[in-house]
């Protein structure tokens, strides 16, 4: 009976994450369209789907596109919306549990690692559902509601677009999980508010670092190497953080 309930609850949770992904994706598409339309009016260049995606995820090729400017802080709003919601989802399972809750979990498991897994919840699956709901919503919106004046892409170009979106999605899942692991370490050591602030700071730091380094992408939408650079970096960081959390991510109740 309990197992059936558990599966049903998990399913409901994933549906919730998908709905958040769809809503955030639609909002990002709508706001991104409004932003790029302002630039289209005075431009001679024909825009396509990639331009809108550059606005939504942000790319570091500032010199290449006239609608990107390092001094325009409002450009950071849309990517921050996506990443902010992502890290909230990845960390929601543990951020909603008070640290004193851990005693109830400790008394029901044999190993600390089991307790930590339970406290963390299934953040991996929730992140995957959120990111790919967001990405698929964007693709769907771009197909159905492509703004007037946008270039209709050729089949090969369209396939490249989907490939980029898919690979960026994988990199984004890994990046969100890395930030989630860092937040979990902060949560174990310092508590909920420190963890929350740490997550926000990490997004800002990753943006700034990624904008400074050229020839290597982290979280921005720069498909220099088909996002394999982002995927490799984030996978490595994720494995390192998992190891660190298994060594140091323990909630001590001694004080």
Partner 1 sequence: MIQLEHVTKRLKNQIILNNISVNLSEGKCYGIVGYNGCGKTMLLRAICGFMSIDSGEVIVDGKRIGKEQDFLPEAGVIIGETGFLNGRTGFENLKILAEIRNRITDEDILKTMDSVGILYAKDKKVRKYSLGMKQRLRLAQALMEDCGTLVLDEPFNALDKEGIHEIQQCLLKAKNKGKTILLTSHDDRNITLLCDRVLEMDNGEIVSERENK
Separation of first and last alpha carbons in the chain: 39
- Contact present, 245 and 181 (Cβ < 8 Å): yes
Output DSSP code: residue 186: H
Out of 103, 157, 159, 214, which residue is the one contacting partner 1 (CB under 8 A)? 103
Q: Which is nearer to partner 1, 40 or 105 (CB)?
A: 105
Q: Which of the ranges 31-39, 108-116, 219-227, 232-240 carries the binding residues for partner 1, by CB under 8 A?
A: 108-116
| Out of 6, 163, 197, 204, the residue judged to bind partner 1 by CB under 8 A | 6
Closest approach of Cβ 36 to partner 1, in Å? 39
**Nearest of 37, 45, 41 to residue 55 by alpha carbon:** 37
**d(C-alpha 116, C-alpha 106), whole Å:** 9
Contact 177, 242 (CB under 8 A): no
User: Total binding residues for partner 1 by CB under 8 A?
Assistant: 27
**What is the token pair recorded at 132?**
């790919």
Tally DSSP H helices, then E strands, for the chain. 9, 0
Cβ atoms 101, 128 nearer than 8 A: no
Minimum CB separation of residue 89 from partner 1 in Å reads: 17
Identify the helix (H) or strand (E) that includes residue 255.
none
3-state secondary structure of 91: helix
Which listed range, 95-103, 169-177, 199-207, 234-242, lies at the site for partner 1 (CB under 8 A)? 95-103
Q: Which of 1, 4, 208, 247 binds partner 1 (CB under 8 A)?
A: 1
Using CB under 8 A as the binding rule, whether residue 108 contacts partner 1 is answered as yes
CB of 105 to partner 1, least distance (A): 7
Residue 154 in contact with partner 1, rule: CB under 8 A: no
Q: Pull the structure tokens for residue 16.
A: 């919730």
Q: Which is nearer to partner 1, 70 or 108 (CB)?
A: 108
Question: Considering only residues 111-150, where is the footprint of partner 1 by CB under 8 A?
Answer: 111-112, 118
Task: Catalog residues that contact partner 1 under the rule CB under 8 A.
Answer: 1-3, 5-6, 96-112, 118, 252-255
């Amino acid at each position: 009976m309990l197992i059936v309930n558990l599966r049903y609850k998990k399913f409901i949770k994933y549906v919730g994450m998908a709905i958040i992904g769809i809503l955030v994706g639609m909002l990002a598409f709508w706001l991104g369209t409004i932003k790029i339309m302002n630039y289209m009016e005075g431009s001679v260049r024909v825009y396509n789907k990639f331009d809108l995606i550059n606005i939504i995820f942000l790319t570091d090729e500032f010199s290449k596109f006239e609608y990107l400017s390092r001094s325009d802080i409002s450009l950071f709003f849309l990517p921050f919306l996506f990443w902010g919601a992502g890290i909230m989802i990845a960390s929601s399972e543990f951020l909603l549990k008070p640290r004193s809750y851990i005693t109830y979990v400790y008394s029901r498991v044999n190993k600390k690692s089991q307790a930590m897994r339970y406290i963390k919840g299934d953040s991996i699956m929730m992140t995957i559902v959120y990111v790919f709901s967001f990405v698929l919503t964007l693709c769907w919106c771009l197909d159905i509601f492509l703004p007037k004046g946008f270039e209709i892409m050729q089949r090969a170009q369209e396939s490249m677009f989907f490939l980029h979106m898919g690979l960026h999605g994988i990199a984004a899942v890994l990046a969100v999980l890395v930030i989630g692991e860092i937040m979990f370490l902060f949560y174990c050591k310092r508590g909920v508010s420190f963890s929350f602030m740490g997550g926000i700071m990490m997004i800002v730091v990753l943006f700034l670092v990624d904008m400074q380094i050229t020839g290597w992408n982290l979280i921005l939408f720069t498909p220099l190497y088909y996002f394999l650079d982002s995927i490799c970096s984030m996978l490595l960081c994720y494995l390192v953080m998992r190891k660190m959390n298994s060594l140091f991510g323990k909630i001590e109740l001694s004080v």
